[in-house]
């Protein structure tokens, strides 16, 4: 019997350490229970490549929507992340660019492959909040709002080629090695947190796309390891950057919407994979960003270009199969509606028609030099 007690203690300790892997941050919703935010990716270039223009329009949209926070899908600082906590790029690419009052909200950032090329721990260091209190960057974590849970996943360590063929790049793998252990703990932590989630909307955010028809295309490692977990746990959206474009793909075998917002600065005109078009709803190879508005049963995603023009709108709606007051064991009762029914997707494209065979925006050939291939 004593043995059993020890065994149970051991198991519960494992449980704690695994579920504790993903730190949980709480973020309040608006008084009416809704939430709105903007999403940007692949941006930190000291204002160049239209970064400042995108920032200006983001500020206008953020003001109009009265956003609650900003999500960055990674590749926060080009080309090689931050050199240290006192790298002036933190201010010249972030604080001094996103200056609109409406953007003075929390920024939740994940790391991209470029961030891993610098001093990766600098971006994770809370000391940066002394320079700019908006900044929150962790490897993998959860932002819990009443209406939605956001699961931020560190995707760079999934990608084999950064380990096997790093070329001339040096990656800062402190905190990641041994890699297999890091990935399996991350996936276990994510799976447990998803199973435990009672939020209406479950949104996973990573740097690398699961599905994309852009330059990099699908990330096979994520299709193999991450996708089965998010498919099995009623995730509504997977949001990413890495491909420098704006894109919307509907999963053909689940409710997941794959949303790419990687247009924060340099874009890759004309870079599009003409095959792999299953479920593709929208692709824009210029710069821009995305907004997300969430209500209990409805969600709206809008993509904008550098003039703030609406390019594409996605309405998501859940059926009314609802249970009230679902309570998570060990947490306070929730009054939100949970376990909403199947999702319905409507999309409308305002000013850009997606025409699969002739991508109108291919005005500037992308140069396939060695460096760009690893972007």
Ligand X SMILES: *[C@@H]1O[C@H](CO)[C@@H](O)[C@H](O)[C@H]1NC(C)=O
Contacting residues toward ligand X, per CB under 6 A: 49-50, 267, 286-287, 300, 306, 313, 315, 346, 348
Residue 216 annotated as catalytic: yes
Find out whether 207 is annotated in a ligand binding site: yes
Q: Taking the complex as a whole, how short is the minimal distance between the CB of residue 115 and Zn ion, in angstroms?
A: 9
Two tokens at 99? 């200056």
Q: How far apart are CA 61 and CA 63, in angstroms?
A: 5
Per rule CB under 5 A, is residue 244 in the interface with Zn ion? no
Residue from the set 46, 117, 139, 242 that interacts with Zn ion by CB under 5 A = 242
Query: Do residues 54 and 287 touch, judged by C-beta distance below 8 A?
Result: yes
Choose among Zn ion, ligand X, none what residue 300 binds, the Cβ cut-off being 5 to 8 Å by kind: ligand X
CB nearer ligand X, residue 124 or residue 313: 313
Detail the DSSP E strand segments found in 128-236: 135-137, 141-144, 148-153, 201-206
Answer yes or no: is 68 a known binding residue. no
Phi, psi of 111 (to 5 degrees): -95, 145
d(CA 173, CA 177): 6
Token pair, residue 63, equals 């003001």
Question: 156 or 251, CB closer to Zn ion?
Answer: 156
Ligand-binding site membership of 284 (annotated): no
Ramachandran assignment for 78, one of left (phi > 0), alpha (psi -120 to 50 degrees), beta (any other): beta
Any known ligand binding at 78? yes
| Interface with Zn ion, residue 263, by CB under 5 A | no
141 beta partners: 23, 152
309 binds, among Zn ion, ligand X, none (CB under 5 to 8 A by kind): none
**For ligand X, the closer CB: 61 or 230:** 61
**50 or 113: CB nearest Zn ion:** 113
Helices (H), the chain: 2-19, 51-65, 89-90, 120-124, 128-131, 160-164, 179-196, 220-225, 227-232, 370-373
244 is in an annotated binding site: yes
Q: Give the residue carrying structure tokens 């824009």.
A: 284
The tokens for 19 are: 């579920």
Judged by beta carbon distances under 5 to 8 A according to partner kind, the member of ligand X, Zn ion, none in contact with residue 251 is none
Look at residue 286 and give the partner it binds from ligand X, Zn ion, none, a contact being a CB closer than 5 to 8 Å depending on partner kind: ligand X
- The answer to whether 162 is a known ligand-binding residue is no
In the bound complex, what is the minimum distance in angstroms from residue 54's beta carbon to ligand X? 9
Q: Among 141, 268, 279, 144, which residue's Cα sits nearest to residue 210?
A: 279
Q: Which of 216, 248, 312, 366 is catalytic?
A: 216
Q: What is the C-alpha to C-alpha distance for residues 329 and 339, in angstroms, rounded to an integer?
A: 16
Closest CA to 248 of 279, 277, 281, 219: 281
> 261, 337, 335, 333: which is closest to 298 by C-alpha?
337
Structure tokens at 265: 């600065």
What does 50 bind: Zn ion, ligand X, none (CB cut-off 5 to 8 Å by kind)? ligand X
Q: Is there a binding annotation on residue 27?
A: no
Binder to Zn ion among 51, 76, 113, 359 (CB under 5 A)?
Answer: 113
What part of residues 57-76 is at the interface with Zn ion (CB under 5 A)? 75
In the annotated binding site, the residues are 42, 75, 78, 113, 207, 242, 244
- What amino acid positions are annotated as catalytic residues? 216
In the annotated binding site for Fe cation, the residues are 42, 75, 78, 113, 207, 242, 244
Which spans of this chain sit near Zn ion (rule: CB under 5 A)?
Answer: 75, 112-113, 242
């Amino acid at each position: 019997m004593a043995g059993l007690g020890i065994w149970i203690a051991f198991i519960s300790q494992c449980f704690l350490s695994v579920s504790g892997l993903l730190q949980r941050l709480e973020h309040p919703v608006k008084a009416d229970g809704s939430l709105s935010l903007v999403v940007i990716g692949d941006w930190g270039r000291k204002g160049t490549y239209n970064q400042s223009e995108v920032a200006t329009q983001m500020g206008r949209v953020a003001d109009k929507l009265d956003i609650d926070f900003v999500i960055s899908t990674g590749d926060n600082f080009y080309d090689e992340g931050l050199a240290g906590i006192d790298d002036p790029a933190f201010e010249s690419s972030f604080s001094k660019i996103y200056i609109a009052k409406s953007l003075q909200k929390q920024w939740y950032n994940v790391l991209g492959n470029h961030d891993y090329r610098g001093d990766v721990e600098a971006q994770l260091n809370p000391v940066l909040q002394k320079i700019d209190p908006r900044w929150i960057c962790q490897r993998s974590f959860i932002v819990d709002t009443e209406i939605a849970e956001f699961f931020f996943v560190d995707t760079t360590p999934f990608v084999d080629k950064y380990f096997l063929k790093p070329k001339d790049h040096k990656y800062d793998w402190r905190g990641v090695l041994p890699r297999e252990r890091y990935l399996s703990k991350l996936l276990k932590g994510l799976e447990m947190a998803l199973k435990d989630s009672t939020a209406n909307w479950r949104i996973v955010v990573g740097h690398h796309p699961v599905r994309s028809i852009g330059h990099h295309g699908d990330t096979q490692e994520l299709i193999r390891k991450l996708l089965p977990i998010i498919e099995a746990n009623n995730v509504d959206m997977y949001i990413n950057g890495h491909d420098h474009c704006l894109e919307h793909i509907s999963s053909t075998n689940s409710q997941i919407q794959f949303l790419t917002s990687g247009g924060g600065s340099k874009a890759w005109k004309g870079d599009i994979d003409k095959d792999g078009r299953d479920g593709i709803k929208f692709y824009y190879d210029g710069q821009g960003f995305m907004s997300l508005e969430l209500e209990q049963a409805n969600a709206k995603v809008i993509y904008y270009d550098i003039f703030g023009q609406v390019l594409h709108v996605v309405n998501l709606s859940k059926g009314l199969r609802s249970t009230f007051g679902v309570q998570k064991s060990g947490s306070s009762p929730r009054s939100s509606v949970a376990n909403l029914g199947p999702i319905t997707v409507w999309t409308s494209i305002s000013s850009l028609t997606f025409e699969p065979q002739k991508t109108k925006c291919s005005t500037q050939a992308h140069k396939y030099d060695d460096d760009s291939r690893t972007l």
